[in-house]
C-alpha cells in the first residue's frame, strides 16, 4: 500500500471512531426501548455546541467539555423521554418503532431550528492551541487532537461496557433489552430503566458531539449527517452490540475515505447507501453480529 | 390419488432452533383428508412453532412440509394460504382498524379461490353469520370482545377457502357454554370437508373431537395414536401431570 | 358515513371543472401561484400518503424522489427534450430509485425502511449538491415564453392523478390487501396477501408520483439550486400535511394542504425558522395526541350530530 492509501485509511479510522461513538447511544436506546430516535444527530450537534460555548466563554479545553456535555445531554435526553417518548411505551413494538421515528423526525427539525435561532446557521469551531499539531510516522501524518478523540471514544465505550456489565443499573438495562417482560417480573422498574437508558444514550451523543467539535466544524445543520452515519453503522454492525458498533463505525469511516479517493469526493457519501443496501440484502442481522 | 388423500398434509423431520433453544426437533406426522388431528403437549413443547412451520410463518432449519404431495417448504405464507392452508393465531390478531366484515373480506379476496367484490362481500357476511358475528359486521375489530375476536379469527381463516385449517388453541379462554358452541362449529367445519389440525389443551375436547393425536414434549414427538390410547400412555400422563385441567381430562 | 360517500361524484366533477377553469378567468399571478402551490402540495402529500398512510410504512426520504423528478425533468427539458418525455423520465427515475431502496429494505421488519429512505434522501441531497453546485436558472428563451397557466394545469394533473391513485388504494382488492399489511403483516400473509409485493408496489407508485410532482416543480421554478429540491423540508411538508389532514384518508392531504398554506399565510413570520419551529411542534403534537387529523375530527363531530 502506498502512503497515500495509508493516509486515507488513517483519516478514515479517526473519523470512523467518532461514527462508532455517535452510533452507540442510538443503538443502546433502540435495544432497550425499541424506539428509534432519529433526532440523535441533533443531540450530537447540541453536544458540539456545549463544547463551543465553554471554549468561547472560558477557553475550556474540548476534552474537558466532554465532562459537561455528557451530563448536560443526559438531562436533555431524560427530559425528551419524559415529555415525548414516554407516551409510546405501551404501544406494540411495531407502533413504538413507527411513532418514535415520526416524533424523532419532527424533533430533529425543532432542535435544528432552535439551534439556528440561538446560534445562527453558520459553522463554528474550537481552536485550542494544539489544534494543528501532528504526529508524523514515515510519510503519514496523524493529527494529535483527532487521535486523542479516538482514544477517548474508545475509553468511553470501555466505560460503558463496564457500566453495563458490572453495575446494578447496567444489569437492569441489559436485562430489559434482553427480555422486557421477564425483567418486569423480576422486579426491575422498567420505567426508570427506560429513562436512564434514554438519558445515557443522549449523554453518549453529547460526548460524541464534544469530541466531534475537536476536529470538525459544528453547525445546526450537522444533525442529519450524524444521524445517518449512526444508522448506517448500526445496520452494518448489528443492533445492540457495543464493540460491533464501534468496529462498524471504523469500517464505514475507512471505506468512505478510501472510496472518496477512488471515485472522487463528490460521490463518497453514496458508498454509505450502497453498503446499507448490500448489507440488508445479504446479511440483515449486520456484519459483526453473532448470527 | 389415494396416497395423497392419506397424506394430504405431511410434516417430515421438522426442526427449528431459536438462538440456542431447540424448539422443534425432527417432528414428523401426516394428516389424512377429512381428518381431525390433535397436536397436544405441555406449554413450550413446540406446538405453535410446528403450526408456524406448516403455515410458513417461520422457516424450517431442516425438514419438509408437503401439501397433497407438493413440497411447499420454501413457499411464503401467503402462497401457502392460496394453496389451501389456513391458520388462526393463538393470541388473536385481528386487523384492528378494519371492520369485522373487512377482516373477513380481505381473506376472501386473496384466498384459494378468487371472487369478485360482491360475491366476496356476501360470502364474508355469510361466514360472520356462521360464527355468530353477523350483528357486529360493521364494528371495528378492536372493539370486539376476546371471544368475538376468536370467532372472527376462525371466520377469517375459513374465508380463504382452506383445504387444511390449523387452529391454535381455539378453545382457550372460553367458558363451558362457549366451548360447546365452538365444538359444534368445529364439527360443522369438518362436515364441509375441511381437514383440521388443532392445538388444544382441553383434553376432554381433544377426546371428543380428534381422530388422532400427536403428543409433543420438549420439541419432540413422543406418542401418536387415537386419543383413547395415546392420552392414556404412562409417558403422556407423566408429561401432563401438574396441570390441573389436564388431570381432570385424564380422569374423565 | 365517510366523507367521500357524502360527496357525490357529480360534485367532484364540478370541482374539477372549476379548478380547470381558474386560469381562463383570471391571470392574477398571485391567485394562480397560490393555486399551483396548493395543488403541488396536495400531490406531494398524497403521494406520501399512498404508502405512508394506506400502507403504514414510514418513508423519511420522500424528498429524494421529488428531487430526482425535479432534477431529471428539468435537465432534460432544458436540453430540449419535449416536456412530456422529460416528465416521464423524471417519474421513471424516481420509481426506479424507489425500487432499488425498497426491494431490500421492505423485505425486513423493523426500522430498516425508514432508515433506508432517510439515507437515500440525505445522500442524494449531498451528492446533487456536489455534482451540480451551480444554481439552475431558466435561460432567456424559456423565460420569454414563461406562463403560469401550463404550470398550473400540470400541477392540477399531478394532484388529480395522486387523488385517483389514493381513491383506488382505498377501495380496490389491492387496497384491502395493503390495509391488511398496514394493520398486521403476519395476519395479512395468513389471509393470502403477499405483504412484500404490496408494500413494494405501493412504494414504487408513491415514489413515481413524487417524481412526477417534482418534475412539475422543476418545470415551474425559475431559479433554484438542484440541492434545494432534495431538502428534507419537502419530506417534512408531506408528512405534516398528511398528518394534519388525516393519515391514510383520501381527503386528508387536500384538507391538510389547504390548512397548511392558510396557516403559513396567517403566521407570516419574517423568519422561515419560526415557521419550521411551529410546524415541527405542531407535527409532534398531532402524532402524539391527534393521530387522525382533521378528517378524524370531522368524523367525530359528524357522529356526535353537529
Ligand atoms: N419467535 C421465537 N423466538 C424465540 N423463542 C421462541 C419463539 N417462538 C417460540 N419460542 C420458544 O420455543 C419453545 C416452543 O414454543 P411454542 O411453540 O410456542 O410452544 P407451545 O405452543 O407448545 O406452548 C418455547 O420455549 C418458546 O419460548
Ligand atoms: Mg402455543
Query: Could you read off the pLDDT of B139-177 as tens digits, one per residue?
Result: 999 999 998 999 999 999 999 999 999 999 999 888 889
Q: What residues flank ligand 1, with Cβ below 6 Å?
A: B 18, 21, 23, 41, 43-49
For residue A3, being part of any structural domain is answered with no
Which segments in chain A show pLDDT lower than 70?
Answer: 1, 288-291
Which segments in chain C show pLDDT lower than 50?
Answer: 1
Q: Which of C267, C211, C209 is nearest to C51 (CA)?
A: C209
Answer yes or no: are the C-beta atoms of B31 and B164 closer than 8 Å. Answer: yes
C-alpha distance from residue A161 to each of A3, A69, A155, A194, C251 (Å): 35, 20, 10, 18, 51
For residue A227, being part of any structural domain is answered with no
For residue A243, being part of any structural domain is answered with no
pLDDT, position A205: 97
Answer yes or no: are the C-beta atoms of B131 and B125 closer than 8 Å. Answer: no
pTM for the structure as a whole = 0.92
Query: Could you read off the pLDDT of C56-72 as tens digits, one per residue?
Result: 999 999 999 999 999 99
Number of H helices, E strands in chain A: 11, 2
Q: Which of C106, C129, C127 is nearest to C117 (CA)?
A: C106
Q: Looking at the partner chain, which of C173, C187, C195 has a beta carbon nearest the beta carbon of B93?
A: C187
pLDDT, position A136: 83
Question: Best of C62, C126, C188, C248 to disrupt the A interface by mutation (most A CBs within 10 Å)?
Answer: C126
pLDDT, position B243: 54
**Backbone phi and psi for residue C146, each to the nearest 5 degrees, phi listed first:** -80, 120
The two beta strands, B70-71 and B85-87, are unpaired
Q: Which of B143, B8, B139, B148 is nearest to B72 (CA)?
A: B8
* ipTM field: 0.92
**Residues 115 to 174 of C: which have CB under 8 A from any B CB?**
173
Fold of C3-303: ABC transporter involved in vitamin B12 uptake, BtuC (1.10.3470)
The domain total for chain A is 1
pLDDT, position A185: 85
Asked whether residue B16 carries a pLDDT value surpassing 90, the answer given is yes
| Residue position matching grid coordinates 379469527 | B153
Contacts of B89 in chain C (CB under 8 A): 186-187, 190
- The range of the structural domain enclosing residue A128 comes to 25-220
pLDDT, position C8: 62
Q: What confidence category does residue B247 fall into, taking pLDDT thresholds of 50, 70 and 90?
A: very low
Fold of B1-84+194-252: Rossmann fold (3.40.50)
Q: What is the mean pLDDT of residues B99-119?
A: 93
Q: Looking at the partner chain, which of A109, A114, A231 has a beta carbon nearest the beta carbon of C236?
A: A109
Task: Please report which ligand is nearest the Cα atom of B46.
Answer: 1
- Neighbour subunits, B (≥3 Cβ pairs < 8 A): C
pLDDT, position A288: 67
Domain ranges of chain C: 3-303
Inter-chain CB proximity A277 and C104 less than 8 Å: yes
For residue A194, being part of any structural domain is answered with yes
Asked whether residue B251 carries a pLDDT value surpassing 60, the answer given is no
Task: Please report which ligand is nearest the Cα atom of B21.
Answer: 1
Domain ranges of chain B: 1-84+194-252
pLDDT, position A289: 62
Of C272 and B104, which is predicted with more confidence? B104
For residue A187, being part of any structural domain is answered with yes
Task: Please report which ligand is nearest the Cα atom of B215.
Answer: 1
DSSP state of B18: E
Asked whether residue B246 carries a pLDDT value surpassing 70, the answer given is no
Answer yes or no: are the C-beta atoms of B103 and B94 closer than 8 Å. Answer: yes
Query: Could you read off the pLDDT of B24-74 as tens digits, one per residue?
Result: 999 999 999 999 999 999 999 999 999 999 999 999 999 999 999 999 999
Inter-chain CB proximity A267 and C127 less than 8 Å: yes
Dist CA C204 CA B12 (whole Å): 40
C-alpha cell at B246: 389436564
pLDDT, position C3: 54
User: If interface means Cβ-Cβ distance under 8 Å, which residues of chain C face chain A?
Assistant: 56, 58, 60, 100-101, 103-105, 107-112, 114-116, 118-120, 122-123, 126-127, 130-131, 232, 236, 239, 243, 271, 273-274, 276-277, 279-281, 283-284, 287-288
Dist CA C59 CA C50 (whole Å): 11
Dist CA C235 CA C255 (whole Å): 18
Amino acid at each position: 500500500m502506498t502512503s497515500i492509501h495509508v493516509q486515507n485509511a488513517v483519516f478514515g479510522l479517526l473519523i470512523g471512531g467518532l461514527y462508532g461513538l455517535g452510533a452507540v447511544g442510538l443503538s443502546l436506546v433502540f435495544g432497550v426501548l425499541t424506539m428509534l430516535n432519529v433526532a440523535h444527530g441533533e443531540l450530537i450537534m447540541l453536544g458540539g455546541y456545549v463544547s463551543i460555548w465553554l471554549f468561547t466563554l472560558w477557553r475550556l479545553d474540548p476534552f474537558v467539555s466532554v465532562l459537561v456535555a455528557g451530563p448536560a445531554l443526559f438531562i436533555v435526553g431524560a427530559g425528551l423521554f419524559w415529555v415525548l417518548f414516554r407516551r409510546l411505551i405501551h404501544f406494540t413494538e411495531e407502533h413504538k418503532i413507527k411513532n418514535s421515528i415520526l416524533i424523532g423526525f419532527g424533533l430533529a427539525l425543532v432542535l435544528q431550528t432552535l439551534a439556528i435561532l440561538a446560534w445562527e446557521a453558520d459553522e463554528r469551531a474550537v481552536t485550542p492551541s494544539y489544534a494543528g499539531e501532528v504526529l508524523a510516522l514515515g510519510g503519514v501524518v496523524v493529527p494529535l487532537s483527532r487521535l486523542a478523540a479516538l482514544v477517548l471514544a474508545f475509553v468511553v465505550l470501555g466505560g460503558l461496557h463496564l457500566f453495563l456489565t458490572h453495575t446494578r443499573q447496567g444489569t437492569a438495562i441489559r436485562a430489559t433489552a434482553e427480555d422486557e417482560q421477564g425483567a418486569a417480573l423480576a422486579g426491575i422498574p422498567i420505567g426508570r430503566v427506560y429513562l436512564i437508558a434514554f438519558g445515557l444514550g443522549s449523554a453518549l451523543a453529547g460526548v460524541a458531539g464534544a469530541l466531534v467539535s475537536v476536529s470538525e466544524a459544528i453547525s445546526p445543520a450537522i444533525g442529519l449527517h450524524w444521524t445517518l452515519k449512526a444508522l448506517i453503522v448500526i445496520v452494518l454492525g448489528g443492533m445492540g452490540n457495543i464493540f460491533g458498533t464501534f468496529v462498524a463505525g471504523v469500517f464505514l469511516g475507512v471505506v468512505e475515505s478510501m472510496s472518496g479517493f477512488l471515485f472522487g469526493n463528490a460521490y463518497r457519501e453514496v458508498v454509505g447507501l450502497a453498503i446499507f443496501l448490500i448489507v440488508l440484502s445479504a446479511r440483515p442481522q449486520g456484519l459483526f453480529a453473532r448470527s | 390419488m389415494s396416497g395423497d388423500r392419506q397424506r394430504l398434509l405431511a410434516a417430515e423431520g421438522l426442526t427449528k432452533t431459536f438462538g440456542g433453544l431447540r424448539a422443534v426437533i425432527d417432528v414428523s406426522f401426516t394428516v389424512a383428508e377429512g381428518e381431525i388431528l390433535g397436536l397436544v403437549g405441555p406449554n413450550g413443547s413446540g406446538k405453535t412453532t410446528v403450526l408456524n412451520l406448516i403455515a410458513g410463518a417461520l422457516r424450517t432449519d431442516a425438514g419438509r412440509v408437503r401439501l397433497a404431495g407438493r413440497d411447499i417448504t420454501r413457499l411464503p405464507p401467503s402462497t401457502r394460504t392460496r394453496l389451501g392452508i389456513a391458520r388462526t393465531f393463538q393470541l388473536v390478531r385481528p386487523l384492528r382498524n378494519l371492520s369485522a366484515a373487512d377482516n373477513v373480506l380481505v381473506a376472501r379476496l386473496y384466498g384459494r379461490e378468487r371472487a369478485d367484490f360482491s360475491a366476496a362481500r356476501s360470502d364474508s357476511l355469510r361466514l360472520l353469520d356462521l360464527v355468530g358475528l353477523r350483528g357486529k359486521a360493521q364494528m371495528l375489530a378492536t372493539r370486539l370482545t376476546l371471544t368475538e375476536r376468536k370467532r372472527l379469527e376462525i371466520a377469517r381463516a375459513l374465508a380463504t377457502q382452506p383445504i387444511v385449517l390449523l387452529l391454535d388453541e381455539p378453545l382457550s379462554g372460553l367458558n363451558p357454554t362457549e366451548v360447546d358452541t365452538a365444538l359444534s362449529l368445529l364439527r360443522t367445519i369438518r362436515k364441509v370437508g375441511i381437514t383440521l389440525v388443532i392445538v388444544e389443551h382441553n383434553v376432554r375436547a381433544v377426546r371428543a373431537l380428534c381422530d388422532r393425536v400427536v403428543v409433543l414434549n420438549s420439541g419432540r414427538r413422543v406418542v401418536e395414536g387415537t386419543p383413547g390410547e395415546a392420552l392414556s400412555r404412562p409417558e403422556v400422563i407423566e408429561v401432563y401431570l401438574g396441570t390441573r385441567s389436564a388431570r381432570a381430562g385424564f380422569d374423565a | 358515513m365517510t366523507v367521500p360517500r357524502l360527496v357525490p361524484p357529480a360534485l367532484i366533477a364540478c370541482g374539477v371543472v372549476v379548478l380547470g377553469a381558474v386560469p381562463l378567468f383570471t391571470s392574477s399571478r398571485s391567485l394562480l401561484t397560490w393555486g399551483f402551490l396548493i395543488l403541488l402540495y396536495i400531490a406531494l402529500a398524497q403521494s406520501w400518503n399512498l404508502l405512508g398512510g394506506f400502507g403504514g410504512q414510514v418513508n423519511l426520504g420522500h424528498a429524494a424522489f421529488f428531487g430526482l423528478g425535479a432534477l431529471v425533468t428539468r435537465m432534460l427539458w432544458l436540453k430540449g427534450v419535449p416536456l412530456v418525455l422529460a416528465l416521464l423520465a423524471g417519474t421513471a427515475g424516481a420509481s426506479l430509485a424507489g425500487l432499488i431502496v425498497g426491494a431490500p429494505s421492505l423485505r425486513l421488519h423493523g426500522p430498516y425502511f425508514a432508515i433506508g429512505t432517510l439515507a437515500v434522501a440525505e445522500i442524494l441531497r449531498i451528492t446533487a449538491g456536489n455534482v451540480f453546485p451551480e444554481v439552475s436558472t431558466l435561460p432567456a428563451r424559456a423565460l420569454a415564453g414563461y406562463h403560469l397557466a401550463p404550470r398550473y394545469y400540470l400541477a392540477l394533473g399531478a394532484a388529480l392523478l395522486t387523488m385517483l391513485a389514493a381513491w383506488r388504494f382505498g377501495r380496490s382488492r389491492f387496497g384491502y390487501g395493503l390495509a391488511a399489511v398496514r394493520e398486521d403483516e403476519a395476519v395479512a400473509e395468513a389471509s393470502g396477501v403477499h405483504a412484500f409485493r404490496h408494500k413494494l408496489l405501493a412504494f414504487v407508485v408513491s415514489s413515481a408520483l413524487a417524481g412526477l410532482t417534482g418534475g412539475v416543480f422543476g418545470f415551474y421554478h425559475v431559479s433554484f439550486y438542484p440541492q434545494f429540491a432534495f431538502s428534507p423540508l419537502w419530506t417534512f411538508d408531506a408528512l405534516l400535511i398528511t398528518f394534519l389532514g388525516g393519515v391514510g384518508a383520501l381527503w386528508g392531504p387536500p384538507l391538510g394542504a389547504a390548512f397548511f398554506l392558510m396557516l403559513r399565510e396567517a403566521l407570516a413570520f419574517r423568519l422561515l425558522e419560526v415557521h419550521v419551529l411551529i410546524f415541527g411542534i405542531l407535527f409532534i403534537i398531532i402524532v402524539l395526541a391527534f393521530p387522525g387529523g382533521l378528517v378524524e375530527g370531522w368524523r367525530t363531530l359528524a357522529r356526535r350530530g353537529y
